[in-house]
Structure 1
């Protein structure tokens, strides 16, 4: 007698509120752990000298010349940004994935996962640009701003209502390339790793895939991040790709990777932490909601 086979239904995507909460908590966790590396990264990116100071020396200079607290200067804007930013990242990736796979009817592939990441990054950039501008101007070594509100007032006074969106195009490219590399890599890496039959293997898979994805995303987007930081600091209104050539011509190709070491030390393990926390919280929420979410 032939065995009766049943259709295996995939669990429904989590409601937006739960995806938002997962991304927000994951993002704040990663930021609080690794923010000083972001300050060091920004300092290196804003240095226009052909021979720039290394990561360790930059860190030492900040502590010795400005005090340890300077390593957390400007953290309020990204902390405020982290909840919507990470929520949009993962919720946007889920929404675009549903769009490109026709709600799971079309098989996902590395190419589709990468394209999904591109569009999730583009969506995310609209949320983060104002916060990034405030953060960069607070992190600058020569910053005389009293706080985030002072930066916002100055921006409105000098550039009008859209002043906080200076560098939007560069931010768009920065997030386009990072998210495409991140989510595309995660899909590819998980496809070749051992199947997660228990919690331990699931944690290993998520940390490994997220960390490698974070490294690849960072390698792809660092030149765009360098240009974005400079455009937002000075409000030059330059276009991204001409600015890339300008930096390379004036300071050498290596200048496009200024700040890469602290950036990758933050975003490679940070990418692993993000994915791990999001997946853990998503599983908790699914258990709480019950069928048809599990």
Structure 2
């Protein structure tokens, strides 16, 4: 890359990441609603309920029969999670970038450093994400009244909020390494933008972020599947959980269900995180430019 903007203080990176995360959720959340509807319906239509032949059919029927606002039902909780999650992702990536550039005496970012900083930012992000995700995971499998966070802490102890941390670290390390590594590489391959044209910058960010989100999803979906299994793992004979550590769990899933089981739910996930990765980068870059202008550094 020909030039790199001066890094901003952590608080600006954090705020830009939070705005990017909320923006991505507002745009992409309806896809989650549709994905859930399609996934939970049976093969046979139920009397009195809409039956969907696919995602587009589901979109059409929800809007026609229930109103467009239905596509945003339950968005409050995801927003509360996405703001700190995405804020941590981008802020940690920039901060770790400074650390590694100083450590390796690198005048600017490289492909290798982009992958390394992304992976380290992913590990940092995992510590923020796990407590937010555990309660919803438990609520999907047991009555909600028995799985509120205070109840979980009282009955299972505070450390249970970090059940599945190891697999979550793997999941976020792989996604962020693929995401930020691809962003750097795609930007390098795209034509230069010497005039700093905002349209060209937005197009390049959308394309590189979407490619990064897609590659990150390809890399981390197996760990995402394993993470869900670990967080909801039943206790088997001997008082141990069926799924424990991440890598042995990968092997267990493959032996019992085949390699394809590691990519369950991949299509709706990549449809969300591919374009979503582009939206994240566009909004984050735009917010950072706004803050630079506000500080007179544009």
C-alpha distance in 2 between matches for 1:250 and 1:40: 29
Cα pair 1:41 1:260 within 8 Å, conserved: no
Query: Map of 1:53-64 to 2, 5 A cutoff?
Result: 56=54
TM-score after normalising by structure 1: 0.81
Query: RMSD of the TM alignment (CA)?
Result: 3.3
Of residues 242, 248, 259 in structure 1, which corresponds to 2:254? 248
Cα pair 1:28 1:82 within 8 Å, conserved: yes
C-alpha distance in 2 between matches for 1:102 and 1:177: 24
Aligned in 2, Cα 1:104/1:284: closer, same or farther, shift over 3 Å? farther
Q: Deviations over 1:6-32 (max 9, x none)?
A: xx9965311222111111011011113
The aligned counterpart of 1:117 is 118
The aligned counterpart of 1:260 is 266
How far did 1:74 drift? 6.2
C-alpha distance in 2 between matches for 1:179 and 1:10: 20
Of residues 137, 140, 152 in structure 2, which corresponds to 1:155? 152
The aligned counterpart of 2:26 is 32
How far did 1:127 drift? 0.4
How far did 1:232 drift? 1.6
Q: Does 1:12 align with 2:6?
A: yes
The aligned counterpart of 1:286 is 292
Q: Deviations over 1:153-188 (max 9, x none)?
A: 332133211111111111100000000000000000
Q: Which runs of 5+ in 2 are unaligned?
A: 41-51, 235-240
TM-score after normalising by structure 2: 0.80
Q: Which runs of 5+ in 1 are unaligned?
A: 1-7, 47-53
Query: Map of 1:194-213 to 2, 5 A cutoff?
Result: 194-196=191-193, 197=195, 198-213=197-212
How far did 1:280 drift? 0.7
Aligned in 2, Cα 1:10/1:169: closer, same or farther, shift over 3 Å? closer
SS at structure 2 position matched to 1:162: helix
C-alpha distance in 1 between matches for 2:221 and 2:39: 10
C-alpha distance in 2 between matches for 1:274 and 1:253: 31
C-alpha distance in 2 between matches for 1:89 and 1:267: 14
Higher relative contact order (CA 8 A, sep 6+): 1
How many residues are aligned here? 271
Cα pair 1:228 1:240 within 8 Å, conserved: yes
Cα pair 2:13 2:94 within 8 Å, conserved: no
Aligned in 2, Cα 1:221/1:74: closer, same or farther, shift over 3 Å? farther
